[in-house]
Structure 1
Amino acid sequence: MKKLNWFNKLAFFLNIVLVTLTLMGYLLPSMAPKLFPFLSVLTLILPTLLILNLVFVVYWALQFKRQALLSIIVFLIGYTFFAKFYKFTSKNEEPFETDFTVLSYNVRLFNLFEWMPDENVAENIKLFIEKQNPDIICFQEFSKSADYKLDDYKFRHIIMHGNKIKTGQAIYSKFRIIDQGEIALPSSDNNVVYADIVKNKDTIRVYSIHLQSVNISPDINEIDERKSKRIFNRLSEAFKVQQLQSELIQEHMKDFKGHKIICGDMNNTAFSYVYKNIVGNMNDAFVEAGKGFGQTYNYKYYPARIDYILVDNIFEVKEFKTFNDFKNSDHFPIMARLNFNRDKKKDN
Structure 2
Amino acid sequence: MLRKILSFLTSLSTLWLLVGVACQYVPPHLFWPAGFVAMSLPGALVLNGVLLLLWLWQRPLWALWPALLIFLFYGQHTRYFTLNTPDAQPEPQEQRITVLSYNVRVFNSYKHLHANNPQLPEQEIQWVAEHTADILCLQEYYNEKGDATYDSRKRIGKEQKRESYIGKALTNKIGAEFGLAIFSKFPIVDKGSVSFDRPTKNQVIYIDVQLPSKDTLRVYNMHLESMAIEEKDVEAAVQSKIGLKTKGRSIARRLKGGFIARSHQVERLMNHILSSQHPVLLCGDLNDLPSSYTYQKLRKHLSNGFEEGGSGFGFTYNGKLPIRIDNQFFSRPLELLRFDVLDQIRFTDHFPLESTYVLASSSEASVD
- The TM-score normalised by the length of structure 1 is 0.91
Deviations 1:226-255 (A, max 9, x none): 212221222122111101101111122233
Give the superposed CA RMSD.
2.1
Structure 2 counterpart of 1:141: 140
- Please state how far the C-alpha of 1:214 moved relative to its aligned partner: 1.2
- Quickly say closer, same or farther: Cα 1:278–1:255, change in 2 above 3 A: same
In structure 1, the residue matched to 2:121 is 122
Aligned pair partner of 1:175 in 155, 176, 186: 186
Task: Assess, with a 3 A threshold, how the Cα gap between structure 1 residues 130 and 236 changes in structure 2: closer, same or farther.
Answer: same
Alpha carbons 2:101, 2:137 under 8 Å: kept = yes
What is the aligned partner in structure 2 of residue 330 from structure 1? 349
Q: Which amino acid aligns with 2:209?
A: I
Give the structure 1 partner of residue 302 of structure 2.
Answer: 282
Deviation larger for 105-114 or 127-136: 127-136
Question: Relative to 1, partners in 2 of residues 1:141 and 1:301: Cα closer, same or farther, differing over 3 Å?
Answer: closer
Is the CA contact 2:49–2:66 (under 8 Å) kept in the aligned structure 1?
yes
Asked if the contact 1:153/1:172 (under 8 Å) is kept, the reply is no
Instruction: Look up the match of 2:328.
Output: 309
- Contact kept in structure 2, 1:207 and 1:263, CA below 8 Å: yes
CA 1:249–1:301 in structure 2 vs 1: closer, same or farther (change >3 Å)? closer
Deviation string 1:225-284 (CA, Å, 9 cap, x unpaired) is 121222122212211110110111112223321111111011012221111222332211
Pick the aligned partner of 2:109 from 106, 109, 112.
112
Change over 3 Å in CA distance of 1:274–1:301 after alignment to 2 = closer
Q: Which amino acid aligns with 1:221?
A: E
Describe the superposition over 1:138-193 as per-residue Cα deviations: whole angstroms up to 9, x where unpaired.
Answer: 00010114211122243100121225374200000001111111123322110111
Q: How many residues align?
A: 341
Aligned match for 2:58, one of 57, 63, 66? 63
Residues 279 and 347 of structure 1: CA distance in aligned 2, closer, same or farther (over 3 Å): closer
Query: Are the equivalent residues in 2 in contact too, given 1:23–1:74 (CA < 8 A)?
Result: no
For structure 1, the 5+ residue unaligned runs are 1-5
Matched, 1:43 2:38: yes
Match of 1:154 among 143, 149, 162: 162
Contact 1:93 1:319 (8 Å CA) reproduced? no
Matches within 5 A, 1:163-202: 163-164=171-172, 166-185=177-196, 186-200=198-212, 201-202=214-215
8 Å contact from structure 1 (residues 91, 318) kept in 2: yes
Matched AA of 2:217: I
Q: 1:10 matched to which residue of 2?
A: 5
Alignment partners' CA distance in 2, 1:91 and 1:154: 27
Match of 2:147 in 1: none
Instruction: Report how far residue 330 of structure 1 moved.
Output: 1.1
1:86 and 1:292 in contact (8 A); partners too = yes
2:98 is equivalent to residue 101 of structure 1:
yes
Report SS of the residue matched to 1:249.
helix
Moved over 6 A (4+): none
Letter of the structure 2 residue corresponding to residue 127 of structure 1: Q
Say if 2:271 is the partner of 1:251: yes
Matched-pair contact (CA < 8 Å) for 1:109–1:142: yes
- For the residues of structure 1 that align with 2:287 and 2:261, how far apart are their CA atoms? 11
8 Å contact 1:154–1:173 — kept in the other structure? yes
Matched, 1:208 2:227: no
In structure 2, the partner of 1:83 is 78
Q: Distance in 1 between matches of 2:308 and 2:105?
A: 27
SS at match of 2:193: strand
- The one of 254, 257, 265 aligned to 1:237: 257
Q: 1:54 is matched with which residue?
A: 49
Distance across 1 between alignment mates of 2:113 and 2:39? 26
Q: 1:277 to 1:13 in 2, by over 3 A?
A: same
Q: Name the structure 2 match of 1:221.
A: 235
Segment of structure 1 superposing worse, 25-34 or 220-229: 220-229
Residue 11 (structure 1) shift: 3.1
After superposition, give the CA deviation of every residue in 1:111-158 in whole Å (9 maximum; x if it has no partner): 122335332233222333355410000000101142111222431001
1:312/1:122 CA distance change after superposition, 3 Å: same
